[in-house]
Amino acid sequence: MPSVRVQEADFDTGKELETLTHGRRDVGAVASFVGIVRDANDGARVSGMTLEHYPGMTEKALEGICAEASSRWDLTDTLVIHRVGPLRPGDRIVLVGVASPHRGDAFAACEFIIDYLKTRAPFWKREDTPEGPRWVEARPSDDTAAKKWK
């Protein structure tokens, strides 16, 4: 069963990833991705950002992406935690964790989930820059990354 959480609070990456293998003997691989807030973007210094989401739809979209990953690869469990609200450079934004009997499936599914999350899950970033706040524009390269999984 996918575990999906959208929360303001930080998370303990190690502890969260352990839940993917706890009490199991059929997992041979756990792959993970952690997204972090950078201090620069598109040529501007970023002192912080605020993440907005669509409560209800966001969770459904993440569950749908995890379900799609489980139908494409041999996975024993998936985990997505995404933070919202105010964040600062160096803060964790997102954790994707995937458990599988084999590493190939775990690596591929982990990349698939973050690529799809970036183009399909309703989150929006507003950055604080020296010129004031600005909404982050969607990147064509993120669409390209998601399309490779078609």
Q: Binding of other proteins at residue 123 (CB under 8 A)?
A: yes
CA distance 26 to 98: 13
Give the residue, chosen from 40, 44, 57, 67, that forms a contact with other proteins under the rule CB under 8 A.
57
Query: Read out DSSP for 66-130?
Result: HHHHHHHS--SEEEEEEE-EEE-TT-EEEEEEEEESSHHHHHHHHHHHHHHHHHHS-EEEEEEET
* Near other proteins in 65-104, by CB under 8 A: 82, 93-94
Give the residue, chosen from 13, 122, 129, 149, that forms a contact with other proteins under the rule CB under 8 A.
122
Binding segment for other proteins (CB under 8 A), chosen from 22-30, 65-73, 103-111, 114-122, is: 114-122
Residue placing its CB nearer to other proteins in the complex, 24 or 57? 57
Give the residue, chosen from 15, 23, 137, 150, that forms a contact with other proteins under the rule CB under 8 A.
137
The pair of structure tokens assigned to 28 is 């041979």
- We find the least distance from the C-beta atom of residue 88 to other proteins, in angstroms, to be 17
CA distance 9 to 4: 14
CA distance 51 to 13: 20
User: Contact, 65 vs 117, CB < 8 A?
Assistant: yes
- We find the least distance from the C-beta atom of residue 22 to other proteins, in angstroms, to be 26
Give the residue, chosen from 72, 86, 138, 144, that forms a contact with other proteins under the rule CB under 8 A.
138
CA distance 78 to 2: 5
Give the residue, chosen from 29, 69, 87, 114, that forms a contact with other proteins under the rule CB under 8 A.
114
The pair of structure tokens assigned to 19 is 């839940």
Binding site for other proteins (CB under 8 A): 35, 51-54, 56-57, 60, 82, 93-94, 114, 117-126, 135-138
